[in-house]
Amino acid sequence: MTLDLPLALGGLLVGVIVGLTGMGGGALMTPMLVFFFGADPLTAISSDLVASVVMKPAGALVHLRAKTVNVGLVRLLCLGSVPAAFIGAWLVSSQPRGEDLDALLKVLLGIALLTAAGGLVLRALFQMWQNALPLGEGAARPSRPTVELRPIPTVVLGAVAGFIVGITSVGSGSIIIVALLLIYPGLKASSLVGTDLTQAIPLVGAAALGHVLFGHFDASITASLLLGAVPGAFIGAQISSRAPGGVIRRALAVLLLASGLRLLGLSTDLVLLVAVAALLLGSVLWVLIRRTVKRRRAAGSTPVAASGGSA
């Protein structure tokens, strides 16, 4: 097994972004492996999932110690996600290798990345509007000490997200956290993040096991990624309170949009045009929405918890 320094530096960059934004690494690491390091999609997905198994527990442990994990919600999500993730990994790995499978995986990855980009935007808009915070994501409004669990939609959410993760490696955080916001709007922000991180461990573990058993896991790629990603995530977490996280999240949304469109086969020129248009139009719309939220806040139409944060 050999270590690849450029790959480790790429892992470091992804790790820092994950630590800064809380965004799942799969939406960044898998496209990086495909575009910049020439890995075939199935190997990139398999290696990324195994690397994520090592990265996830650190953040979850912090939340478990702080008691910001809704254990009942984690159980329901895992009830659907763990078997679905394993099945997804088995299903995609059982397909005959070749150009057809690579093309299919690129399409699925592209769709997953576009979904993740939309999820980032929806998450910020939802919390901005719900909490009347003109700068976007902040702490959740004061809520009940406990939330009433909704078993059926939660298990279904886990199953859908698990299947997507098993096939593409994307979605353990970016998709589930947005859906949890919609299903459980009263869930505190700290519990939302803690629950999402904790449920992702068995989910990603099941998907990774499926890819190790049936897929094309590359130990050298994974080791090189972890060499950079683990310290990167720690560094990102340490500076997250000082960094303009909202600006980073919006830039990532545009990056995911561009990566998703490129994987779907759009030309580089067209992708660049769409990305620039999204950045410019998105910025204008964001300013208009912020002004509307500021007016709501000034009018006192929504109680707001005293808290900072940015989207």
pLDDT in tens, 269-310: 888 888 888 888 877 887 787 777 777 777 765 444 444 444
- Number of structural domains (the chain) is 1
User: Is residue 1 in some structural domain?
Assistant: no
Domain of 140, in residue numbers: 13-299
User: Is residue 7 in some structural domain?
Assistant: no
User: Is residue 2 in some structural domain?
Assistant: no
Q: Note the pLDDT tens digit of each residue in 150-194.
A: 899 999 999 998 998 888 877 666 677 777 877 887 777 667 777
User: Is residue 311 in some structural domain?
Assistant: no
Average pLDDT over residues 105-109: 82
Q: What is the DSSP string of 169-225?
A: S--TTTTHHHHHHHH-TTS-HHHHHHHHHHHHHHHHHHHHHHHHHHS---HHHHHHH
- Res 225 pLDDT > 80: yes
Distances in Å between the Cα of 169 and the Cα atoms of 47, 75, 84, 291, 298 are 9, 21, 13, 37, 43
Q: Note the pLDDT tens digit of each residue in 21-31.
A: 656 666 778 88
Give residue 188's pLDDT: 72
- Res 134 pLDDT > 50: no
Place of tokens 């890819």: 211
User: Is residue 310 in some structural domain?
Assistant: no
User: Is residue 276 in some structural domain?
Assistant: yes
User: Is residue 217 in some structural domain?
Assistant: yes
What's this model's pTM, rounded to 2 decimal places?
Answer: 0.70
User: Is residue 3 in some structural domain?
Assistant: no
